[in-house]
Structures are given as structure tokens and as C-alpha cells.
Amino acid sequence: MVIAGDEMPRSKPAPDSYLLAAERLGAAADDCIVVEDSIYGTAAGRAAGAAVIAVPCMQDLDEHPGQLLIPTLAGLTVNDLARIWHELKEVADE
């Protein structure tokens, strides 16, 4: 799925694009994982209520509750993503 910036009334860090993506998928945003490489993108994912995997590329990213900071997605499996989602949701629920 592609959601272009010109479809949104507000750009990141507003959560609009992630909320729309969840809606189009028929899912709640807090059931989703956002993978981002930018400060505004990770902030938008957290604001949407999603679990966030932050993979720094051109910017240094900080750790936040409900967000996992990792250097690369290489080697991650679907099972890894499910485990990460559960771990991030447990932290967010505390």
C-alpha cells in the first residue's frame, strides 16, 4: 500500500498517514508495527499508537517507550516482528 504525502492534510509528525494505513488495512493502529528511519516518522508512528521499530539511516534516533531502536532489519523474520510487537505493547501498557 502506498499513501502519498499529498493525500494527507497534515504531514509527519502528525499520525494521519499511519491512521489511514491502519484504516485501509481494516486494523486498529495499535495492532500495527511502524518501521521508520526518521525522527518525524517515529513520532508519527508513536502518536498513532502503533509499535515502532526505528532503524536509523540518515538521522540519529533516540529510544522512546513503545519504540525499539535497531541498526538493521536484516535477518528479522515475521516471528521476530510478532515477538517485538508483543514486547513493545507490554511496555506501552505499563
**What pLDDT tens digit does each residue of the chain (94 aa) get?**
788 888 898 999 999 999 999 999 999 999 999 999 999 999 999 999 999 999 998 888 988 888 999 999 999 999 999 999 999 988 877 6
* Helices (H), ranges, the chain: 16-25, 39-48, 78-93
Q: What is the pTM of this model?
A: 0.90
Q: Which helix (H) or strand (E) holds 29?
A: none
**Is residue 65 exposed (0-12), middle (13-18) or buried (19+ Cβ within 10 Å)?**
exposed
Count of domains forming the chain: 1
Residue 52's CATH number? 3.40.50.1000
How many angstroms separate the CA atoms of 66 and 8, rounded?
24
Which residues neighbour 79 within 8 Å (Cβ) at sequence distance 6 or greater?
none
Under DSSP, the state recorded for 26 is T
The three three-digit cell numbers of residue 84, written as one number: 517485538
